[in-house]
Amino acid sequence: MKFYTIKLPKFIGGFVRALLGAFKKN
């Protein structure tokens, strides 16, 4: 459970960063 809680925020952060990067490139 602890591992999942730590891994999830990192995945969401990477997804948001990718979205922001796509927005800035367009």
Question: In the structure, what pLDDT confidence band is assigned to residue 1 with cuts at 50, 70 and 90?
Answer: low
pLDDT recorded at residue 4: 65
pLDDT above 80: residue 24: yes
> What is the pLDDT, as a whole number, of residue 6?
63
DSSP 1-26: -HHHHHHHHHHHHHHHHHHHHHHHH-
Q: What is the pLDDT of residues 2-23, one digit of tens each?
A: 766 667 777 888 888 888 888 8
